[in-house]
Amino acid sequence: MLGLNKKDLSLLLVVTFLALCAPFILNPFPSDSSLAQFNAGYPDLMQRFVIFGIFAIGFNILFGLTGYLSFGHAAFLGVGSYSAVWMFKLLSMNVLPAIVLSVIVAGLFSVVIGYVSLRRSGIYFSILTLAFAQMSFNLAYSVLTPITNGETGLQLTLDDPRILGVSRTESGGIPVTNLFGLDMRDTYEMVVGPWAFQFNNGYYLCAILMLISFYLAIRIFRSPFGMMLRAIKSNNTRMTYTGLNARPYTLAAFVISGMYAGLAGGLLASMDPLAGAERMQWTASGEVVLMTILGGAGTLIGPVLGAGFIKYFENIFSKINDGVLHTWFGFMPDGLEDLMVTLVHPFVGKGWGLTLGLMFMLVVIFLPGGLVEGGQRIAALFRRKKSGDDADKSTQSTPAE
């Protein structure tokens, strides 16, 4: 079905279930509960989960399959965002043309950068991509200010010459993004007892595009092209000796990965019509590297898990302050309570990056395959335990000779 084997189809169905049922899965605690702060089922955050999942899926095609580590992929994310906002300013507020333009422009930009960067491999390739990304970041702040609006960032105004739409609404405001009239900000809230579940149009558009991106990634992984990329990662020198030119394949992987990043950038601008140079900074490129390695480089679902994990830490775990900690340890004597708050304080709130860094170190040291390898080890442990129990039962039921 859909050209996938049974295992890949099952994986796609699992990701589909998680994406479509995210409003329920990410809201496990009642709204009036003290644990409600750990809920992540609100539209802005859910959108970021799937958008950065797309970004990481594309990066994994380059890094996970081909072994080329790019430190400049945020440049394509920023280019995609700028392209989408300009489409909103000049054409219409329909997100579809903006997303298409984002993918095309990011693809063309990645052809140029990839053609130059792929003349080198290893650390030299990584440094070249980082240099291009930093040049793009600095150009957005200086020379290209008429296009990017510099430090302020590119955003919509009431004077935009929108060809296929109005520049301002009847109430005098800026029109909102839509998909053929379907408002991206519209949210339906379903209240079930103490739980409140939010279903947002923008999130489901992003989720559908993420599922399409994930499906295409599966097809790439299982295709002869994907096998060639794995061969390049395994031993590029040996491939060269056999007479095969690897550069067209690596350039194709780079461009595909850049187009995924452009799609993510276009979706970010579609959900919030604003584009700034900070999306092109080296820290954003490093973030997608962390997502991919943390989830499991070279695996299909790993980058999606890594993106969700890091965005959850960034938006939920970082909000835990001393007041929340005092609530948690309030049952302890005052002196012990203050001690526990003092010990935990550096790892939460503004110090969430320290916790994330420690977890990343542990994953790299003990789980080189990322969260996916951790899940596989746990599953294997349960299978081994179950097979052991079945063997014991079989032995007990067999009569002695």
| pLDDT, block means (10 residues), the chain with 401 residues | 86 93 91 82 92 95 93 93 94 93 96 93 92 92 88 87 83 88 90 90 95 95 93 86 88 96 95 89 89 91 91 84 83 86 86 85 86 87 76 54 33
d(CA 178, CA 95) in angstroms, rounded, equals 6
Please check whether residue 304 lies inside any domain of the structure: no
Please check whether residue 253 lies inside any domain of the structure: yes
Output the pTM of the full model: 0.91
Q: Are residues 262 and 320 in the same domain?
A: no
As a whole number of angstroms, the longest Cα–Cα distance in the chain is 93
Q: Are residues 329 and 195 in the same domain?
A: no
Please check whether residue 292 lies inside any domain of the structure: no
For the packed helices 201-222 and 247-271, what is the interaxial angle rounded to 10 degrees? Answer: 170
Residues recorded for the chain: 401
Please check whether residue 229 lies inside any domain of the structure: yes
Q: Are residues 273 and 320 in the same domain?
A: no
Q: Are residues 53 and 118 in the same domain?
A: yes
Q: Are residues 53 and 114 in the same domain?
A: yes
Domain count, the chain: 2
Query: Which residue type sits at 158?
Result: L
Please check whether residue 149 lies inside any domain of the structure: yes
Q: Are residues 248 and 383 in the same domain?
A: no
d(CA 68, CA 249) in angstroms, rounded, equals 12
Which region holds residue 231: left if phi is over 0, alpha if psi is between -120 and 50, else beta? Answer: alpha
Please check whether residue 93 lies inside any domain of the structure: yes
Residue-number span of the structural domain to which 376 is assigned: 316-396
Two structure tokens written together for 209: 């595009």
Q: Are residues 323 and 276 in the same domain?
A: no
Give the end-to-end CA distance of the chain in Å, rounded to a whole number: 50
User: Do 42 and 198 contact (CB within 8 A), yes or no?
Assistant: yes
d(CA 146, CA 368) in angstroms, rounded, equals 45
Q: Are residues 254 and 368 in the same domain?
A: no
CA-closest candidate to residue 371, choices 292, 259, 254, 287: 292
Q: Are residues 264 and 335 in the same domain?
A: no
Q: Are residues 107 and 227 in the same domain?
A: yes
Q: Are residues 360 and 224 in the same domain?
A: no
